[in-house]
Amino acid sequence: MKKQDIIDLWKKHNIDSAPKYAEFIKSMNVSQESFDACKDILVELRERLDFDKINPKEFWSACDEVFSTDPVCNSSVKSIFASGDGNTFSVEESNRRNNKIPLHSGAFGSLDLAIQNRFIRNKNEQNEITKINIAEIGSGYGAFKLYLETTYPNLDIEYTGFDVIPRSECVESVGVDGTLTEEQVEKYRNKFDIIFSSNVFQHLSKKCVSKYVEQSYEVLKPFGYTLFLTASFQNNRCFHYGQEIDLFSNVEMNSLYKTNKLYPMAINYVLVFPFMTSILCQKNAE
């Protein structure tokens, strides 16, 4: 599907704005009867917006046009679910609030541990600390990059972001399937000390997540780290602007890491909706 086809599908079901979409979600959850009334709509959305059947760039381009910054930044949550006054958060305020997810899950504590360990390992023969390279999957509007700059102003950190649609500095566009291209894997092979991703994998198919984990091993330095925050829902599914995603359980994610020689070092949980888990893994050097 092209971008306009996706937009037309949303228009067909009257969910072509952030307030309309929020109202659709609310009405669907009022009762079993209201949910049953939406079943045909949900089936069509699920089939036509299947992540593995459409170009994710077309989907996210449509999201940008119809829902503005909301799908990535949660910028409209204030007006939709709280005040109702039509005001929305700025990108800067949304970034600050979105950083609370890794902060309160304990993920930033694990990040600090990984950064300190990598700086120790990166010392050269003259005992000088060399640059540390950090990559992010799903950079959004730059919340994590801003966190690094404000938290570690005196450390030599080089940031590289990857996203379906680059929306901030130092971010590269990924391939048509939503993962790194073969050229990017070769360009960055054994390059990164840490790969970070927060609140992203629940919007990717299992096939896409599996590929990202495989690629992470390839582009990490020996003994480098991945730090991924993943969401779990009661039915192991995420519904996002009509796109329904089947999620890995925490047990399945742990197995996926180990299969790709990424071994869990620290696991943190936060009991919010959704249930968030952050897992710090280290690459096994061969």
Note the pLDDT tens digit of each residue in 116-138. Answer: 999 888 776 556 767 899 999 99
**25 class by beta-carbon count within 10 Å (0-12 exposed, 13-18 middle, 19+ buried):** middle
pLDDT of the residue at 84: 46
pLDDT of the residue at 272: 60
The span from the CA of 227 to the CA of 117, in Å, is 14
Please check the confidence at residue 78 and state whether its pLDDT lies above 60.
Answer: no
Question: Is the entire prediction scored with pTM above 0.85?
Answer: yes
Please check the confidence at residue 20 and state whether its pLDDT lies above 80.
Answer: yes
Q: Is 92 helix (H, G, I), strand (E, B) or coil?
A: helix
Please check the confidence at residue 211 and state whether its pLDDT lies above 90.
Answer: yes
pLDDT of the residue at 88: 66
With a pLDDT cut of 70, the percent of the chain lying above it is: 89
pLDDT of the residue at 60: 92
Q: Provide the pLDDT confidence category of residue 178 given band limits of 50, 70 and 90.
A: very high
Domain 99-283 has CATH 3.40.50.720: no
- All CATH 3.40.50.150 domain ranges of the chain, comma separated, are 99-283
DSSP 16-27: -SHHHHHHHHHH
Please check the confidence at residue 242 and state whether its pLDDT lies above 80.
Answer: yes
pLDDT of the residue at 68: 80
Q: Provide the pLDDT confidence category of residue 233 given band limits of 50, 70 and 90.
A: low
For residues 242-268, average pLDDT: 91
Of 201, 224, 199, 198, which Cα lies nearest the Cα of 212? 201
Q: Report pLDDT digits (tens) over 156-176.
A: 999 999 999 998 889 999 999
Q: Provide the pLDDT confidence category of residue 50 given band limits of 50, 70 and 90.
A: very high
* 228 token code pair: 């991924």
For residues 2-12, average pLDDT: 95
The span from the CA of 16 to the CA of 154, in Å, is 45
Q: Provide the pLDDT confidence category of residue 271 given band limits of 50, 70 and 90.
A: low
Please check the confidence at residue 83 and state whether its pLDDT lies above 70.
Answer: no
CA distances from 226 to 115, 189, 222, 264, 278 (A): 11, 15, 12, 9, 10
pLDDT of the residue at 115: 94
* 145 token code pair: 């990059």
Q: Report pLDDT digits (tens) over 214-227.
A: 999 999 999 999 99
pLDDT of the residue at 82: 45
Q: What is the mean pLDDT of the chain?
A: 86
Q: Of 46 and 120, which is predicted with more confidence?
A: 46
For residues 46-52, average pLDDT: 92
pLDDT of the residue at 3: 94
